[in-house]
Chain A
């Protein structure tokens, strides 16, 4: 079991309020991603749940039990840190055994669990090495191994992939997702990378300045963002925003159109502009277009689209794919 509930959780460092009050429900077995720009309080929120920081107010409940005042170890959670935080003087085996040793678990059970974890994570051949002799990806696996042997009620991941190179990151992303399917344990995952959020999450929590902007499944956030911030943050490349006459025509202060929701033409359409940079990837074509009113737009066409720097192009938003926002930035 691993349902986690936050009730008006607040955190201030001195006079600076970093989390003004968060309410959140996380169901047992869910993969929840906290996403937001750096400094939005997502790591702080995770550390509050872990118990590594004390709350300034509010309640944290795990499986219906109030753990707000409990020490980290008593919350039954396991955490994987950005820097891996392995014990450098211990072998991989000792690193993974450490939490079991702290729990005074019986020796046979310790061995069984460590070997099981090593097998799941392909670490069997490395059990007698020290962390310093491992690659970044292997260290990350050891950190995950140390977390899973405890069979915690939930896993907390604090930007676990940000120290890995791009190729390895994609691989580990899939591994963590598979691990979640296999263990079916609640996972809370913090990242600033919206692609990680979109690909891994059952539920995404978008944070800005310590406030929850929107909570929902990846596609809910993609399809119906609550405001301009979420609309701009979710989706890659970012949503384009148009103001002025184009927005007024739709009865809004601003409208948003995703790059993939433009139809492109060399002859006619709603907005005319000049191609600045054309990126031909084969599978897609990205055009960076400067509209005649000066707005910069990124548009995506599937497959190949014959346009080059300096060409005139016309862009037309697809029917029903225009997001409207009022002056406060809220979706209409």
Chain B
């Protein structure tokens, strides 16, 4: 039976939740509002009602081509995700279904690489990119982004695969399934929700990545995160244009996240609650 919660307590919780949500969301909201202001309005001070001008968007589009970094973002996000899955699925598979004594240690070790500040390896990676001609190429960035997110992808898939009962795989083996049949007909269909939410999360992480994309690109491979950054320096600060660029950069991923939020929440809490 559901616990009876007093109406007053419920209202209290709702107000608190909405307040926290608004505080978290406010910077994004203010960015969107500012993007519809003129530059004068933008620097004039705090104001929640814009004049709804599109001049910043036009300026951004004429000054810097939006299309190119957008395509780069798509390629980097999808490319690094697909590559990560190709590497992570067999890895997670092996760790989930034939673990050894060291499996837990390997998982911890992989996760520990995420605890290191990225800037700590900037110099060696920068030099490697310079020597191998990967600087400012999509290939280089796809590899770097894949490596950055690989630990999380493997962890998530591992948790998903662990939820699949081993007996079902044994049943498939008894039924005459080869390893390939087992993967194609039994495991993958059962793990699809998990693989999908892992993919979504990785696309978002790769899309939003700003450290490596800014450090390792100039123009050719620069994605939208670098595109935003390019508005902050040379000609001084133009708040409205910067906001317009930011809005255009986050819009695609925001829309995608909105439509897939159910999957995402499931992916992020999987294993913790059933």
A73 engages B173 (CB within 8 Å) = yes
**Are B190 and A81 neighbours in the complex by a CB distance under 8 Å?**
no
**Interface 1/0s, chain A 65-76, versus B by CB < 8 A?**
000000111000
Q: Contacts A83-B165, A85-B165, A87-B186: A98 and B175 contacting too (C-beta < 8 A)? A: yes
- A52, A73, A81, A98: which contacts B185 (Cβ < 8 A)? A98
Are A72 and B185 neighbours in the complex by a CB distance under 8 Å? no
A167 adjacent to chain B (CB < 8 Å): no
Residues on A with beta carbons closer than 8 Å to the beta carbon of B186: 87
Fill in one digit per residue for B179-213: 1 if any A CB lies within 8 Å of its CB, else 0: 00100011001100000000000000000000000
Question: Are B190 and A89 within 8 A (Cβ)?
Answer: yes
Whether B105 sits at the interface, judged by CB under 8 Å, is no
Q: DSSP class of A's interface residues: helix, strand, loop or mixed?
A: loop
Interface centre among B176, B178, B181 (most CB of A within 10 A): B176
A83-B167 in contact given A88-B190, A89-B190, A98-B185 (Cβ < 8 Å): yes
CA distance A82 to B170 in the complex (A): 12
Number of interface residues of B (CB under 8 A): 17
Q: Kindly state the separation between the CA atoms of A146 and B181 in the bound complex, as whole angstroms.
A: 17
Note all chain A residues with C-beta closer than 8 A to B181: 102
Q: How far does the Cβ of B152 sit from chain A's closest Cβ, in whole Å?
A: 26
**Interface status of B108 (Cβ within 8 A of chain A):** no
A231 within 8 A of B: no
Shortest B160–chain A CB gap in Å is 14
**A123 at the A/B interface (Cβ < 8 Å)?**
no
Question: Given known contacts A71-B173, A103-B176, is B190 in contact with A85 (CB within 8 Å)?
Answer: no
> In the complex the two chains form, is A81's CB within 8 Å of B170's CB?
yes
**A254 lies within 8 A of chain B by Cβ:** no
- Residues of B contacting A83 in the complex (Cβ-Cβ under 8 angstroms): 165, 167
Task: Give chain B's interface secondary structure class.
Answer: helix
Which residues of chain A are near B178, meaning CB under 8 Å?
102
Instruction: Note all chain A residues with C-beta closer than 8 A to B175.
Output: 73, 78, 98-99, 102, 146, 150
Choose among B167, B177, B185 the residue that contacts A85 (Cβ–Cβ < 8 A): B167
Q: B103 to chain A: closest CB distance in Å?
A: 16
Residues from chain B with Cβ under 8 Å of A89 in the complex? 189-190
Considering the chains assembled together, what is the distance between the CA atoms of A72 and B176 in angstroms? 7
Chain A contacts with B in 112-154, Cβ cutoff 8 A: 146, 150
A190 interface contact, C-beta 8 A: no
Contact of B168 with A by CB under 8 A: yes
Cα separation A86 to B167 with both chains bound (whole Å): 9
Report the minimal beta-carbon distance from A102 to chain B, rounded to whole angstroms. Answer: 4
* A308 vs chain B, min Cβ distance (A): 43
Interface assignment of B24: CB less than 8 Å from any CB of chain A: no
Q: Is A77 an interface residue (CB 8 A)?
A: yes
Q: Counting CB contacts under 8 A, is A79 at the interface?
A: yes
Nearest CB in chain B: distance from A16 CB, A: 15
A48 interface residue, CB < 8 Å from B? no
- Evaluate contact between A81 and B173: CB separation under 8 angstroms: no
- Nearest chain B CB to A90 CB, angstrom units: 8
- Residues of the B chain whose Cβ atoms lie less than 8 Å from the Cβ of A98: 172, 175, 177, 185
Q: B170 to A52, Cβ gap below 8 A?
A: yes
Whole-angstrom CA separation of A150 from B177 in the bound complex: 13
A-facing mask of B146-180, CB < 8 A → 1, else 0? 00000000000000000001011011111111100
Given A98-B185, A102-B181: A85 and B173 interface contact (C-beta under 8 Å): no
A73 contacts across to B, CB distance below 8 A: 173-177
Out of B168, B174, B177, B185, name the residue touching A79 (CB < 8 Å): B174
CB of A221 within 8 Å of the partner chain? no
Partner of B173, one of A52, A88, A103, A150: A52
CA distance A98 to B184 in the complex (A): 13
Interface contact A85-B171, CB-CB below 8 Å = yes
Partner of B176, one of A50, A85, A102: A102
Is A81's CB under 8 angstroms from B167's CB? yes
Contact B168 A78, beta carbon cutoff 8 Å: no
A150 partner residues in chain B, CB cutoff 8 A: 175-176
- Among B170, B174, B185, B190, contact of A77 (Cβ-Cβ < 8 Å): B174
Q: Which residue of A lies closest to B164 (CB)?
A: A88
Q: Which residue of B lies closest to A82 (CB)?
A: B167
Residues of B within 8 A of A52 (CB): 170, 173-174
CB closest chain-B residue, reference A71: B173
Q: What residue of chain A has the Cβ atom nearest to residue B192's Cβ?
A: A89
How far is the CB of A54 from the nearest CB of chain B, in Å? Answer: 13
Closest to B185 in A: A98
| Residue interface bits A13-42, CB-to-B below 8 A is 1, else 0 | 000000000000000000000000000000
CA distance A77 to B185 in the complex (A): 21
Return B167 CB to nearest CB of chain A, in Å.
Answer: 4
Chain A residues with Cβ below 8 Å from B167 are 81-83, 85
A77-B174, A87-B190 are known; give 11 further A-B pairs, CB within 8 A: A52-B174, A72-B174, A78-B175, A79-B170, A79-B171, A82-B167, A85-B167, A85-B171, A89-B190, A98-B172, A102-B177
14 of the cross-chain contacts (CB-CB < 8 Å) are A52-B170, A52-B173, A52-B174, A78-B174, A78-B175, A81-B171, A83-B165, A85-B171, A86-B168, A87-B168, A87-B186, A98-B175, A102-B178, A102-B181
- B contact residues vs A (CB 8 Å cutoff): 165, 167-168, 170-178, 181, 185-186, 189-190
